Structure 1
Amino acid sequence: MAITRNCESTTRRDCLRLGLGALMGGGLIDALRARGRAAIPGARPTSCILIWMDGGPSHYETFDPKPDAPAEIRGKFKAIETSVPGMRFSEPMKRLASIADKLAIVRSIRHDQGNHGAGNHYMVTGAPPRIPVGCGAFVSFHPSMGSVAAHERGAGGGLPSYFSIPSMLRSGGPNFLGARYAPFVVPDDPNSASFRVRDVAPPRDLGGTRVDGRRSLRDRLDHLKRFAEKAAGDPALALDEYYDQGYELMASHQAQRAFDITVEDPRLRDRYGRNSFGQRCLLARRLVEAGVPFVTLNEGGWDHHVSLFDGFDNRMPAFESSITALIQDLDQRGMLDSTLVLALGEFGRTPKINKDAGRDHWSNAMSVLVAGCGTPGGQVVGATDSRGYAASERVLSPENFVATVYAKLGIDPGKILFTPSGRPTYLVSDPTPIRELMG
């Protein structure tokens, strides 16, 4: 799997590997801890697909063009009309412009965290970091939206409640909620003909007989006196359930079906795009269709300090085409009303184009795409000033954004959770959703 680096030139493991899967030939135990509880009584059966554009996509070159600004600000691309009169996007967003009636664009979220690590944390948790955080930091001072969704909603049916594909966000973890609410990471490429999800099927070198044999070995070990006594506090006992669930997941027809994108109409796969991101979008749709409440697509490569316009020319046509196909497919299947689709990064980019034909970090303004889950389409929420320097109308915070996501998932954003030590913690310090997005 290719790894995309941001300006800090740092990479990290996607998630903690507990190393407890040797008896079944894989590392599933941590992933099974991501299986949520039963859905809250009365909660809406809604899901979220978060398309995370890691690095911070430019608001100028996406949804907030400034055609009347000087050339060193407005950049290379023109502003284009969309399917909604008066609503304009930047030229690279041609396909999304054609379905603007289904989209809401928020142009006025701002914050004060201009580094990747801090900005990522703020936007995916709704909580600013407690200490200064550098660009390369992987920090967790508060549970991420995906982990909260897993904790509060669960998936049921034997599937994990929170997926992150192909890697985990740097602040996408569960913090005090515990490892069981960490994301299940699917690192393999669904565009590959050999795509298979680790731990959902037995490893290639383990046939069914060998898998059954390893389970039989565990069953015999369980009859040892130490296990039979079920001594209080024995940490090994706590793992038994997860091993059992691991075998169940490998044998689950629902899990096998959810990951088998080969059953999709080849023409639909073509619409999504025969590339890694396009097929990940299709996989995300299949997962929410199977009842998973939160799926993150972690798509790096948007830290355009250099050659921004070449980068957009090369990548954006296929990228925004896949997002368009996802939204249209959800709509045609009657799923868009119950699936929230988001596309954003940690911040926007600087107004003035730098000497390397790029833009740098800028947290005073950013654009967020929102679709589905009852969101009124064909609207722009808020605005930046005439040159895109800062949010100037209907100024909103990451807290408002995260509160909106929770509200749409049927989770009370004002809920208080308790840490293992008993300390009360608000999900969001300001639980006010963005009213224009609530319908």
Structure 2
Amino acid sequence: MVNHPFLRRTALKNMALGVTAWSTSSWLPALADVASATGKKPKSVILIWLNGGPATIDLWDLKPGNQNGGPFRKIDTKVPGMQISEHLPGLAAQAADFSLIRSMSTREGDHSRARFVSMTGYTPQGAIKFPAFGSLVAHEFNVENDIPAYVHIGGRPAISGGGFLGPQFAPFVVGGRSRRRGPDNVDLKVADLAPVSPDQQAERLQLQSELGSLSTMPTSVVTDALNSARDRALRLMNPQAASVFNLEEEQASVREAYGPGSFGQGCLMARRLVQRGVSFVEVSLNGWDTHSNNFERVKELSQQLDRGCASLLNDLRERGLLKDTLVVCQGEFGRTPRINGQDGRDHWPASWAMMLAGAGIRGGQVIGETSDDGAEIKSKPTRTADLMATIFRGVGLDPRKQNMSNVGRPIRLADPDGTPLEELL
């Protein structure tokens, strides 16, 4: 215990400096220590986030021969009757493992609002601080692990905090700092993450305990966030925990299979994380806001998506992890069936498609249908609330389960208006 007034002030000053340094690193939203409370075998979710809103009419629901169709061909998959883009051959070979929803229909055409709704399952409502569904999954499974329970790989997360669940359930951010773009760029650094010896770790944990007993400051959102960051930073000093982020531990052939860039290698990191019990991993593939030059850009992005996502599904299946890992692939909305004057497609929430695979999901299904021009839903319109209810059911969570919000109002995991898609479960 630090009792001398001068030593006490010095120690507190040093701790303050240390916390400030931590808060400027990418591990400010790191998670606090958690313990299992559900009594169920925890499952994991990997969200492949197609940031910017992908032209799903050029991925999952092509319209060749129609004036809206564009130049891409459809190819057969392993599932009779299911066809997808010619630029997704790896995924076509694994169609038995995934299902498509071709009838997503949402209302938000603004990136920020659409991302919020896609990530939380709710529209903004006054002062309520809705958490991302990644935070909800991490909170509900509450797995004891020195590795953060919710990890975001690449770019900035749409919801950076933990909402009314608290900062300990915010996403831990990996990479996304490099200004260099391109499919071969790898930016997966965890800032300042360096292993320490067991003796050093023990000394720092002891110092944490002693300084914690000295503090008489009232708690606040800021101090809670800093405490969460400090606690997780100390736990990640465990070399075994930190090693999960080291892709050099994988065989070169495995790394090569996923593709050379941040997205492909991020998919590999996602597999390593769920293999170590992480509840939710989000891997972002940026660049889908294709108002111009849509087809050239979608072709390049599709090749990255196909290599990384197909390798991920194959790897999860071969390791026996797919049955306990739900893979979700989507963006915040789709893009206009009509091609604009710049050979691009604009925002279109009215009719779009997405993919689900793994835990709790029956593969090889196609849910819903759009019109011949792709502009309207012909069958099984599906809202974000329905998708969220399906996701929670898929991983064994009751979408009706409630958590108390920051305004004292109980909030369900999924919007009560949502209905799970039973044909997928």
Q: Is TM > 0.5 for Structure 1 vs Structure 2? A: yes
CA deviation map 1:243-263 (0-9, x unaligned): 35532321241x133112111
**How far apart in 2 are the matches of 1:339 and 1:167?**
23
Partner of 1:13: none
Partner of 1:94: 89
**How far apart in 1 are the matches of 2:223 and 2:347?**
48
Does the alignment pair 1:42 with 2:39?
Answer: yes
Match for residue 237 of structure 2 among 229, 232, 250: 250
**How far apart in 2 are the matches of 1:37 and 1:406?**
20
Partner of 1:233: 218
What count of residue pairs does the alignment treat as equivalent? 402
Q: CA deviation at 1:130?
A: 3.9
**How far apart in 2 are the matches of 1:215 and 1:280?**
31
The TM-score with structure 1 as length reference comes to 0.82
**How far apart in 2 are the matches of 1:366 and 1:167?**
24
**How far apart in 2 are the matches of 1:78 and 1:314?**
15
CA deviation map 1:325-384 (0-9, x unaligned): 000000000111111111110111111101000110001111111111132111101111
The TM-score with structure 2 as length reference comes to 0.85
Match for residue 304 of structure 2 among 307, 314, 318: 318
Does the alignment pair 1:145 with 2:121?
Answer: no
Q: CA deviation at 1:299?
A: 1.8
Aligned amino acid, residue 245 of structure 2: F
Aligned amino acid, residue 82 of structure 2: M
Aligned amino acid, residue 338 of structure 1: D
Aligned amino acid, residue 29 of structure 2: A
**How far apart in 1 are the matches of 2:188 and 2:116?**
31
> Counterparts of 1:246-285 in structure 2 under 5 Å?
246-253=233-240, 255-285=241-271
Match for residue 148 of structure 2 among 160, 167, 175: 160
Deviates more, 1:298-307 or 1:187-196: 187-196
Secondary structure of residue in 2 paired with 1:222: helix
Unaligned runs of 5+ in 1: 1-17, 132-138
Closer/same/farther in 2, CA of residues 40 and 290 from structure 1, 3 Å limit: same
Aligned amino acid, residue 21 of structure 1: V
CA deviation map 1:45-70 (0-9, x unaligned): 2101001101111121001011242x
Aligned amino acid, residue 247 of structure 1: L
Partner of 1:136: none
Q: CA deviation at 1:301?
A: 0.4
Closer/same/farther in 2, CA of residues 80 and 172 from structure 1, 3 Å limit: farther
Does the alignment pair 1:398 with 2:384?
Answer: yes
Does the alignment pair 1:367 with 2:364?
Answer: no
Does the alignment pair 1:197 with 2:190?
Answer: yes
Closer/same/farther in 2, CA of residues 371 and 232 from structure 1, 3 Å limit: same
Partner of 2:71: 76
Q: Compute the RMSD of aligned alpha carbons.
A: 3.3
Deviates more, 1:214-223 or 1:160-169: 214-223
Secondary structure of residue in 2 paired with 1:60: helix
Q: For the Cα contact (< 8 Å) 1:37–1:153, is it kept in 2?
A: no
Match for residue 179 of structure 1 among 154, 167, 170: 167
Closer/same/farther in 2, CA of residues 142 and 231 from structure 1, 3 Å limit: closer
> Counterparts of 1:416-427 in structure 2 under 5 Å?
416-427=402-413
Closer/same/farther in 2, CA of residues 246 and 266 from structure 1, 3 Å limit: same
Aligned amino acid, residue 405 of structure 1: I
Unaligned runs of 5+ in 2: 1-15, 179-183
Q: For the Cα contact (< 8 Å) 2:138–2:280, is it kept in 1?
A: yes
Q: For the Cα contact (< 8 Å) 1:102–1:378, is it kept in 2?
A: yes
**How far apart in 2 are the matches of 1:169 and 1:335?**
25
**How far apart in 1 are the matches of 2:279 and 2:34?**
12
Closer/same/farther in 2, CA of residues 140 and 277 from structure 1, 3 Å limit: farther
**How far apart in 2 are the matches of 1:194 and 1:315?**
17
**How far apart in 1 are the matches of 2:218 and 2:325?**
41
Match for residue 327 of structure 1 among 313, 318, 333: 313
Partner of 1:222: 211
